Chains A and B, each alone.
Chain A
Amino acid sequence: MKFWLVALVIVLAAAGVAVSRINEYVFFAAFVVLTYVVLATAWNILGGYAGYVNFGTPAFFGVGAYTAVVLFKWLGAPLAVQIAAGAVMGGLLGFGVGMLTLRLRGIFFAIATVAVIFIMETLMINWRYVGGATGLQLLRPEAMAPFGSYTRMLFLVMTLMAVAAVALARYVQTSWIGRGLRAIRDSEEAAEASGVPTLRLKLVACVLSGALMGAAGAPMPMYLSFIEPASTFSLNYAIGALAAPMIGGTTHWLGPVIGALLLVTIQQIVTVTISSEINVLVVGVLLVAFVVLAPDGILGFFKRWLRASSR
């Protein structure tokens, strides 16, 4: 109940801000931050809850983006349809990749997911219809009524998606699925012996995670008015989606949200004030710092601190 109330307040506040006269750049930056909230939350369903480290975020993100481009170019489909289709394609890719790779453990799974990025990127580079290696310029439709610009509308859409993604992750965590995924992370053999259908649960997690990543990628072409394979399948998405939950905490749905808000906001500020090259360094430095000083992320750090102070 409290969760939904907070969610409603966030969405209403975002809507209010979107129609206000605040500088356009804020929305431009906030859209990226929110995209990472979705990506990190999605990553955490498989990577955090089940402990299967997925480096393939850009593949799922890119499939969502290219799905949107195809639908837009072919049918002139509206944004909502692009996002829904992106989610479906991301989920399907999650199912396929999951079937092929989820029997692998640990580092082998991680490596297999990296391969998926290159496969998808190569496919897109060689597909003329979506612009191939040179990319494709897209003409954005007019912004809808109360919004002063298309970016402002995208900001609100991404806020809605972030809230939806977090709600889904929260449901997964607190339901019986979450308990099974935790059991898998702790010991897969013991989980099976305790009646947990490990392969099926991992597939569910992979599909949900892939669908959310696909959805997150769908609005990107409209945001940039452009699509091109190298930046769409950039490893920065893989690192950001993984770093944010590590920094925030992987065991709770709030972790990736805190991590993404903190990390990507800092990155955006650094990009503007110092340089866009240094913003990647920020991820590295923060990641190392957290792994060394607070391996359970910000949430884990506070939990320990609370436990220590209550003694």
Chain B
Amino acid sequence: MAESLLKVSGVSKHFGGFTALSDVSLEIAAGERFGLIGPNGSGKTTLINCISGLLRNDAGQIIFNGKQITRLPPYQRTRLGIARSFQVPRPFHTMSVLENLLVPSAYVVHMKDAEGEAKAMEILRSIGLADKAGLYANQLSQVELRKLELARAMAARPKLLISDEAMAGLAGNEVDEVLQILFKLNETGITIIMIEHIMQAVMRFSQRIVCLDAGRIICEGTPASIVQNVEVQKAYLGA
């Protein structure tokens, strides 16, 4: 495996008496397409909240790009190169689509507005939102909101992009569209963690998959080996 970009070791997180994550360790290589799956409530979003800094893990370490980031606030992690989309889209609703992208371009890349706008339009074009640049969030469709989440994450020029269920609730052809965008981003060298319930999409996208259940990693491997795994079948199908 190439040099690891993200190293999560022994991360645990409790909410009161509930253990959301216990002793989770994983490594992700630069340029990798990584899938994170697991049934509802298995801790997927908690884990990426710990990685992006929205939550503080109670135990364990997170090292990104050779740097200890366990105690850093989220905005500093974004500046180091970790960007994320939210499961439930959280657009800046009083700003146009274009202005949404100007927030990270001002705060992460430190670009002047004119420069930032040109760059933002470039991102919107590549993601297929260019003709919506002047619209507001309440004028966008569900798939466009998901694309906006990704576009805003991209405007922060990440090394690692965490896509938290960017495809949930989308129609078949829309799923393909978002999947194509993620493939394209990966080709430019961006490492991607995909959290998804749509199996067909994760299986197609990921080079490697980790399955969480009740806050533990129950198995890890290639998409083909994951579907064969008895533990995974048990976690998903009960039985």
Contacts and interface: CB of A to CB of B under 8 A. Distances in A.
Interface of A: 176, 179-180, 182-183, 185-187, 189-199, 251
Contacts of A190: 86, 90-92, 152
B94 A251 contact: yes
Contacts of A187: 90-93
Given A179-B103, A180-B103, A187-B90, A195 B95 contact: no
B75 A183 contact: no
B102 interface: yes
Interface string B64-107: 00000000011110110001101000111111000100111011
The 4 closest A-B pairs by CB, nearest first: A195-B108, A195-B107, A186-B92, A192-B74
B45 to A, nearest CB: 12
Interface in B27-84: 52-54, 73-76, 78-79, 83-84
Given A179-B102, A182-B94, A195 B86 contact: no
A194 B92 CA distance: 11
Given A186-B95, A192-B75, A197-B73, 5 more contacts: A180-B107, A185-B94, A186-B93, A192-B74, A197-B76
Contacts of A179: 99, 102-103, 106
B71 to A, nearest CB: 14
22 contacts: A179-B103, A180-B107, A183-B95, A185-B94, A186-B92, A186-B93, A186-B95, A189-B90, A190-B90, A190-B91, A190-B152, A191-B92, A193-B52, A193-B75, A193-B83, A193-B153, A194-B78, A195-B104, A195-B156, A196-B103, A196-B107, A251-B94
Contact of B53 (A185, A192, A194): A192
A184 to B, nearest CB: 9
How many residues of B sit at the interface, in one of the four size bands? 20 to 34
Contacts of B86: 189-190, 193
A176 B107 contact: yes
Contacts of A191: 92, 103
B157 to A, nearest CB: 10
> Could you say which of A179, A194, A199, A251 has the most chain B C-beta atoms within 10 Å of its C-beta?
A194
A176 B99 CA distance: 12
B230 to A, nearest CB: 37
Contacts of A176: 106-107
A12 B59 CA distance: 64
Contacts of B95: 182-183, 186
B103 A194 contact: yes
A193 B92 CA distance: 12
A196 B53 CA distance: 13
